[in-house]
Amino acid sequence: MTRTKAGSLGSIAGIVVLTATIPLLFVVYSSLQLSASKWAGLWSSRLPELMGNTLSLALVVVVLCLILAVPSAWLTARRDFAGRKVAIWLLVLPLTIPTYVFAHIYTVLLEPTGWLGELWQLVAGDGALINLYGLGGAAVMLSLATFSYVFLLAYTSLVDSRRSLEEAARIHGASKWQVFLRVTLPLIRPALAAGLIVVVLHTLSDFGAVSMLRYQTFTLSIYLQMSGRFDYQAAAGLSLILVSMSLVFLVLERFFRRQQRYFAGAQTRFISRKRASIQETLVIWAWLGLVSLFAFVIPVSWMLAWSYEALVQDVIDAKFWGYALNTGLVSFTAATVAVVVALPLGLYHTRVRTWLSNLYIQLSSIGFVLPGPVVALGVITFVIAVLPNFYGGFAALIMALVVRFLPLAIQSQEAALQQLTPSVEQAGRIHGAGPLENLWRVILPMIRNGMVTAWVLVFIDVLKELPATLMLRPVGFDTLPIRIWIEASEEMLELAAPAALLLVVGTLPALWIMMRSHAVRR
Amino acid sequence: MSNKTNLLTGLGRSLLAMTLIVGSAATWAAEELVIYSGRKDKFVEPVVEKFTEQTGIKVILHSGESTALLNKMQIEGPRTQADLYLSNDAGNLQKGTEMGLFMRLPGSLVNEVPANLRAADNTWIGLSARARVLVVSKNAKDLDWVKSIFDLADPRLKDRLAITHSANESYIAGVTVYMEAVGDAKTKTWLEGMKVNVDGEVFNKHSKIVAAVANGQKDIGLVNHYYIYRHLAKEPDAPIEIRLPDQDGMGVAWNVAGVAVSKHSKKKNSAQKFVEFVVSAEGQKIFAEANNEYPVVLGIAAAPEVPAAGSYKIADVPMVKLGERRDETIDLIESVGMP
């Protein structure tokens, strides 16, 4: 019985994985057509530099994200202070701002005539400029845009961890610092790994920020090969190397997450937060305020200022609301489909845990590690060849977006599925529930939070998605990110700003649902 | 077990059905001309609105980057929904011709457009021209000696020069023109000199170059002419002026924005009507003036603030070269390692 059930679940999971690997198949197929001499040319001329650039960017972003996220998560999870919930919101909200919007806003603000540029000249003297182009700038922009993933997962994990282990360590004479390093940190290690892998994958596949800041990574180079020279084969070759690099990171992440199923007895208590004194509160807010100032307050102030300009100039018309509606429609559909198709995959893996299920999970991550334009190209090629009637419609776009963000859904669902202790499921079955009833009445309610998180994360990412939407949207179907891209590239700031602002506002309900479902509740 | 399989396959089926409906609905609805446009909506909308007003034919602008849209057309092949392709760069248009994406336009339709501003086989035509010029700060009094774009490689301009990054299509097109006019070797030396002068600091937009020269951050920049007028329209007192380079030598490099009709269009008649309208005196004026460019059809004047076409020397390079030699140009730029 169990065997056959896992079998049917396995075949559904297999179909999902097969669909998710379409872009990879496309990449492999195209790079096979690349001649040996062209490979050699790529290898000698570009690869060392690209690899160096891409890896150093990923490394710097990881370090910056840890610096931004871990102290913030610990403070908000373990200390009770005035405005704690506001702080949590402020630290999650940067998720709603796309990387290219960050890059755009900060380049404008740091110009000699921008708010920050003028301020900096007051501090550092006339003519002093902060140059955002290159590694430093790109890393800071990507960190500001993505550290919230690490924060969110670290915070949740810190709040969820039980008191008993840390108390036991204290009783046995460990100092506070030792407890943090040897108990707390290992406990949140899986969450940090999960958060960081999302950050790394975002970094590797980022197109918007690096192209605005002219930092040559694999993704940017792939894009230039495709668009500048129409050289799909070289682009595919580079993509293949990028995928291999990403797989290394994914395996690393799995390694850090191994043997982390940890089942707490129901009677253990959650950690209670220590009340912060007034001085402590000030220090805490100084840190959290600094982080959220750059990650959220400044960008949003800029959006508000230019949106006001747009309002005054009366440029927000019916078309603008049409773009907003399109964006919502695409994001809602893609997130829902992604969560639904991710479920059998996650369930299957949690159940059987074989090399095959492991392979499934790794393979389904492909969409996330390939650059958006390549995913889009793969899907276009597949759809035209196999399902020509779908082409040009909404379905092909949704398919590409789901393929692209499936890993996000799987990651968050899987984390939740792992909390599903075998005993609970067994209890359900003992009490006579069939597999379906068990799914509906036991599993789904228990992993509801994970599903909601998955849905919201995909929703937010689709909302901000640019390259795949650019290539695959139905004719005449524009979304807000596309309008931001088009208007910002022509310096029509008063047109780009309201779109960016609406993205932030549009994400709020989704974030609220997610936060209510677990994080802020405790 | 079977219950669950049914649930999931059922779910799968309904999803499939849903996407089928949505997918085909989108296909049926497209009863208008579709333009894949690499030109900013703002500069295309005026001419499109007038066209619709006169002919009753609706137009959907599907905007994006010129190159990305060309990629899209190529992959889509006969399935493309594009009836027309519009680009700001002759290089892209010629690339499309080489890919065999466009149909040959009848001579009667294209004769008004000078032969060097369209494809040899009439698969695309130029609509409006832009000049590659210098923007110079009025406050920089010591720059009178800069008369050619090749002077931009002079060490005296170290840290005073503003150029875009080398993936910019206008930049690439300009380099192709110089390669054609003075040869690859001289162009390469020139790029190397500029590379030293900018020292890794390049701009990602032409508008930012003009702004940098206007606010004194830089003294001189290489841009398309209309960026200067766009800046002056916002800030009439900005201390900048246009300088037309190479008047004693090869002349100013031109590039055209142009249009082509998709070979796979199912509405070729309507598409040709659109072409007819944009080469008409009225269409030309609206199309070019939206962006302070030069109408390509002779005898139609550009906006009054722009130096009149014919009043200065233009580099004698057919626009088709911008596509034919684009890969070589990129190779040359990359061999220098321009940022």
Within-domain flag for B297: yes
Nearest Cβ partner of B64 from A4, A389, A470?
A: A470
Tokens of A381: 């090629």
Within-domain flag for B66: yes
Q: Chain B: residue nearest A489 by CA?
A: B205
* Same-domain status, B221 and B247: yes
Contact list in B for residue A489 (CB cut-off 8 A) is 40, 205
Cβ-based contacts under 8 A for chains A and B: 138
Q: Give Cβ neighbours of residue B175 (< 8 Å, ≥ 6 apart).
A: B187, B191, B329, B332, B333
Q: Chain B: residue nearest A104 by CA?
A: B204
Helix ranges (H only) for chain B are 2-29, 41-55, 66-76, 90-98, 107-110, 169-182, 184-198, 206-214, 225-234, 268-279, 281-289, 320-324, 326-336
CATH of the domain at B59: 3.40.190.10
Nearest to B62 by CA among A470, A373, A324: A470
Q: Are B148 and B285 in contact (CB under 8 A)?
A: no
Provide the pLDDT for residue A511.
83
Total domains, chain B: 2
B99 with A230: Cβ contact below 8 A: yes
* Same-domain status, B278 and B241: no
Within-domain flag for B86: yes
CA–CA dist B64, B242 (Å, integer): 29
Q: Chain B: residue nearest A391 by CA?
A: B23
* Same-domain status, B96 and B33: yes
pLDDT tens-place string over residues A370-381: 888 888 888 888
* Same-domain status, B261 and B223: no
CA–CA dist A22, A315 (Å, integer): 41
Q: Does residue B11 carry a pLDDT above 50?
A: no
Contact list in A for residue B100 (CB cut-off 8 A) is none
B34 with A475: Cβ contact below 8 A: yes
At CA A75, angle to CA A72 and CA A81, rounded to 5?
Answer: 120
Looking at the DSSP bridge assignments, the partners of residue A275 are A80
Provide the pLDDT for residue A2.
46
Provide the pLDDT for residue A407.
85
Give me the domain span that covers residue B220.
130-253+327-336
Contact list in B for residue A230 (CB cut-off 8 A) is 67, 70-71, 74, 95, 99
Which of A214, A330, A336, A375 has the most B C-beta neighbours within 10 Å, making it the best mutation to test the interface with B? A214
Residue predicted with more confidence, A495 or B101:
B101
Within-domain flag for B314: no
Contact list in A for residue B71 (CB cut-off 8 A) is 226-227, 230, 377, 471
Give chain A's end-to-end CA distance (angstroms, integer). 40
Within-domain flag for B311: no
CA–CA dist B113, B127 (Å, integer): 8
Contact list in A for residue B75 (CB cut-off 8 A) is 377, 380-381, 384
Nearest to B191 by CA among B290, B319, B337: B337
CA-based nearest distance B173→chain A, Å: 12
Contact list in B for residue A394 (CB cut-off 8 A) is 19, 22-23, 26
Provide the pLDDT for residue A102.
92
B3 with A436: Cβ contact below 8 A: yes
* Same-domain status, B262 and B292: yes
A226 with B79: Cβ contact below 8 A: no
Contact list in A for residue B21 (CB cut-off 8 A) is none
Tokens of A415: 């984390």
CA-based nearest distance B73→chain A, Å: 10
Q: Chain A: residue nearest B62 by CA?
A: A476
Contact list in B for residue A434 (CB cut-off 8 A) is 3
pLDDT tens-place string over residues A30-78: 888 888 887 887 777 678 888 999 999 999 999 999 999 999 999 998 8
B215 with A471: Cβ contact below 8 A: no
CB atoms within 10 A of CB A127: 9
Mean pLDDT lowest among A16-30, A380-394, B3-17, B238-252: B3-17
Is ipTM over 0.85?
Answer: no
| % of chain A beyond a pLDDT of 70 | 91
* Same-domain status, B40 and B118: yes
Provide the pLDDT for residue A437.
80
B22 with A489: Cβ contact below 8 A: no
pLDDT tens-place string over residues B322-332: 999 988 998 89
User: In which band, very low, low, confident or very high, does the pLDDT at A339 lie, cut at 50, 70 and 90?
Assistant: very high
* Same-domain status, B226 and B332: yes
pLDDT tens-place string over residues B36-87: 999 988 899 999 999 999 999 999 999 888 888 898 898 888 989 999 999 9
Q: Does residue A419 carry a pLDDT above 70?
A: no
* Same-domain status, B111 and B241: no
Give the count of alpha carbons within 13 A of B142, CB side only: 3
Q: What is the mean pLDDT of residues A214-229?
A: 80
CA-based nearest distance B186→chain A, Å: 23
Q: Are A113 and B208 in contact (CB under 8 A)?
A: no
Tokens of B81: 């929904």
Which of A491, A493, A495 has the most B C-beta neighbours within 10 Å, making it the best mutation to test the interface with B? A491
Diameter of chain B measured on Cα atoms: 85
User: In which band, very low, low, confident or very high, does the pLDDT at B320 lie, cut at 50, 70 and 90?
Assistant: very high
Mean pLDDT lowest among A1-10, A419-428, B37-46: A1-10
Q: Chain B: residue nearest A484 by CA?
A: B64
* Same-domain status, B285 and B233: no
The reported pTM is 0.81
Mean pLDDT lowest among A81-85, A350-354, B50-54, B239-243: A350-354
Q: Residue type at B175?
A: V
A393 with B167: Cβ contact below 8 A: no
A394 with B217: Cβ contact below 8 A: no
Q: Chain A: residue nearest B77 by CA?
A: A384
Positive or negative CA dihedral for A71, A72, A78, A83? Answer: positive
* Same-domain status, B148 and B68: no
Provide the pLDDT for residue B275.
96
* Same-domain status, B117 and B156: no
* Same-domain status, B274 and B200: no
Domain limits of chain A? 32-259+271-340+407-519
pLDDT tens-place string over residues A161-189: 766 777 777 788 778 788 878 878 877 88
Do β-strands B240-243 and B125-137 pair in parallel, antiparallel, or remain unpaired? antiparallel
Phi, psi of B134 (to 5 degrees): -100, 140
Nearest Cβ partner of B60 from A9, A131, A476?
A: A476
For residue A474, give the DSSP letter. P
Nearest Cβ partner of B205 from A381, A486, A491?
A: A491
CATH 3.60.150.10 matches A32-259+271-340+407-519: no
